[in-house]
Structure 1
Amino acid sequence: MENVRATSRPALWLMVSILLVALNLRPSMAAVGPLLSAIRGDIPLSFSLASLLTMLPVMAMGLALFFGLSVSQRLGEQRTVVISLSIIGLATVSRLFVDSAAELILSAMLAGIGIALIQALMPALIKSRFSDNVAVCMGLYVTSIMGGAAIAASFAPLVMARTGSWRAGLAIWAALALVALLFWGLGRTGTSAPTVLAPHNTSFLTHSRAWLLAVFFGLGTASYTCVLAWLAPYYVEKGWSEQNAGLLLGFLTAMEVLSGLVTPAIANRSRDRRLVLVVLLALIMAGFCGLILSPQHFSLLWPCLLGLGIGGLFPMSLIVSLDHLDNPQRAAGLTAFVQGIGYLIAGLSPLMAGMVRDRSGSFESAWWCLTGVMALMILIALRFNPRHYARQFPGAT
């Protein structure tokens, strides 16, 4: 009995530490949208330029994921997390002192690098340490990521209102990095999680299924990044206050948290994830159609549908990738490839939507495009038959 407790306590502490770390992976981006009108009032920013505050961190995440696992192998899991959290914290707190668009964008890029190093490490760590409950643990991890976004989106306008400074509304989230650093450090004094091994040096560039998984993840994440960047500004343009628009985005991310918890648990009953994926994509399509056709009526319903769909799609995209390979090292390499390519694809979406807004004067065209993308993703999802996974990566387990 004592031996069981000795092994379960480190595992529980590790999972809690992972969740606290994950809280830091979105506030640097999620806090921008609700404060954008105030930022643009102080620093000259077109919508296209403002999109870089979301686009560049996501692109940095994609690029860094290609070498993130190698970095974690050289530095070790402990140092990688500490360094990454430090980068995120410093980039976030530096926003107290920004005076130009270039400085603001640079802080976003630095935060993106720190985020990417953690995101490259965590799926591999979860796959190796919690191999019997990968879907549930991945759901908790991704839910914590979205929880951080919900907190930042909801409270950044409140912080700005209390302090009279949008800079404070962006910078206060460095406190989350400090808490995660302290908790992670304390956890290492008495316990040590297994080191995540580097993946085999096998390139996934020649595997068509790896590319299909990457495109699927990238298109799904594009809907998330566009909503994160533009939902609050969209409703501010409709006459809402920054506070109410931020709370609406916070409500959407709260629905993401709920779906991120529930969906993987439901999907865990079967290895065939296709029905769950199709339902999630249909929810997102319905949400975008509602934003276009009736944004002011049932204004809570559309973010609810979007949040439930996006919140479940994000972890399920990673879970489907992990399903393809049983070997944790190979699965880690595949998820790193999928996220790397996927984030490069998703990173372009806020810029494209911002350019559409600058030229057309509204976001409706962007929402229509994303609705079409979700329809395309349904066709891709139908191809993820688990009985065919073994033939997609021959010789790999």
Structure 2
Amino acid sequence: MENVRSSSRPALWLMLGIMFIALNLRPSMAAVGPLLTAIRGDIPLSFTLASLLTMLPVMAMGLAMFVGLGVSQRLGEQRTVVLSLLIIGLATVSRLFVDSAAELILSAVLAGIGIALIQALMPVLIKSRFSDNAALCMGLYVTSIMGGAALAASFAPLLMTRTGSWRLGLAGWALLTVPALLFWCAQRAGMPTQPARSSSNRSFFRNPRAWLLAIFFGLGTASYTCVLAWLAPYYVETGWSEQDAGLLLGFLTAMEVLSGLLTPALASRSRDRRWVLGVLLVLIMAGFCGLILSPHHLSLLWPCLLGLGIGGLFPMSLIVSLDHLDDPRRAGSLTAFVQGIGYLIAGLSPLVAGMIRDQFAGFDWAWWTLTAVMALMLLMVWRFNPLHYSRHFD
């Protein structure tokens, strides 16, 4: 019994370390939307240009995914995480000194690179260290990502109000990297080292199933990035204060956290994830329709539906990718490919929505477009039959 406890303790500390790290992976983006009105009052930004603050880091995440596993194999898991957290922290704290749109966008891109290096590594680490509970641990990891977004969206306006500076409202989230670094460095000595193996995601470029998974992940993440970028400005335009709009976005991300915890646990009862994915997509469609048709009535219901749908869809898209391969390294390479292509797709959604806003003076057509995208994804879901996974990879 004592041996079981001692062997499980390092795994518990590792999972807690992963969760602390994951809290740092969204505040640099999530804090922007609620503060956008204040930022635009100080730095000239059109909605199209402002969309780059979300689009470019997401695109950087996509591109960096293709080198992330290679970096971790050269530096090792420990050093890669430390380097990535330092990049995120420095990029975030640099916003104290930005005076132009270009500097603000550069800080967002640097943060995106640091985020990508961690997100390329984590599925491999989770699949290899928690093979018996990979779905649940992936859910905890993704939930922590969304928890960081919830904190930033909810409290960035309050931080700005208390300090009188939107720059502090953006830069203060660099403090989250401190406990993550301390926790990671303190517990890493007890982690077993994994043998390095060559791993490449190039082999997936000619695989139709890998592309289907990547497109599915990208379209689903497009709804997340678009809501993250534009939900708060959408409500500010309708008369809400920045703080109330930020709290609404925080409520949505809290629903994402709840769904990210519950959905993988429920889905783990069966290897067939299609019914879960279908329900999540219907929830997202209902949320977007509510935003368009009745934004001021039942105003908490629509973000609730969106949060429950998006919060479950993000981890489930990665879990379905991991399900396709049993070998942790190959599964990790597949998820790196899926995220790399997927984030390049998802990064376009804030830009397209910003262009739609500038063209039509409103976000309704952006929400309608995302509703149609979710309907298309419903058709894609039924191709994820686990009985046929082995056919798609040699």
Structures share fold, TM-score greater than 0.5: yes
What is residue 213 of structure 1 aligned with on the other side? 213
SS in 1 for 2:219: helix
Shift of 1:179: 1.1
- Measured in 1, the distance between the counterparts of 2:385 and 2:129 equals 26
- Measured in 1, the distance between the counterparts of 2:63 and 2:266 equals 32
TM-score, normalising length: structure 2: 0.99
Note closer, same or farther for the CA distance 1:356–1:80 as it changes in structure 2 (3 Å cut). same
Give identity over the alignment, percent.
80
Give the count of matched residue pairs. 394
Matched, 1:308 2:308: yes
Shift of 1:199: 2.3
- Measured in 1, the distance between the counterparts of 2:196 and 2:132 equals 16
Alignment of 1:251-290 (within 5 A): 251-290=251-290
What is residue 83 of structure 1 aligned with on the other side? 83
Matched, 1:242 2:242: yes
Tell whether the 8 Å contact from 2:324 to 2:390 is kept in structure 1 after alignment. Answer: yes
- Measured in 2, the distance between the counterparts of 1:200 and 1:22 equals 24
Gapped runs of 5+ residues in structure 2? none
Matched, 1:34 2:34: yes
Shift of 1:304: 0.1
- Measured in 1, the distance between the counterparts of 2:197 and 2:118 equals 15
What is residue 152 of structure 2 aligned with on the other side? 152
Matched, 1:367 2:367: yes
Alignment of 1:1-397 (within 5 A): 1-192=1-192, 194=194, 197-199=197-199, 203-393=203-393, 395=394
Deviations 1:70-116 (A, max 9, x none): 00000000000000000000000000111100000000000000000
Tell whether the 8 Å contact from 2:201 to 2:337 is kept in structure 1 after alignment. Answer: no
- Measured in 2, the distance between the counterparts of 1:18 and 1:198 equals 23
Shift of 1:178: 1.1
Shift of 1:201: 6.5
Tell whether the 8 Å contact from 1:124 to 1:196 is kept in structure 2 after alignment. Answer: no
Shift of 1:29: 0.1
Deviations 1:184-243 (A, max 9, x none): 011124444546644256610111000000000000000000000000000000000000
Gapped runs of 5+ residues in structure 1? none
- Measured in 2, the distance between the counterparts of 1:325 and 1:291 equals 38
Deviations 1:239-273 (A, max 9, x none): 00000000000000000000000000000000000
- Measured in 1, the distance between the counterparts of 2:143 and 2:376 equals 25
TM-align CA RMSD: 1.0
Deviations 1:130-178 (A, max 9, x none): 0000110000000000000000000000000000000000001000011
Question: What amino acid does structure 1 have at the position aligned with 2:14?
Answer: L
Shift of 1:5: 2.1
SS in 2 for 1:172: helix
Shift of 1:381: 0.5
SS in 2 for 1:18: helix
- Measured in 2, the distance between the counterparts of 1:310 and 1:198 equals 34
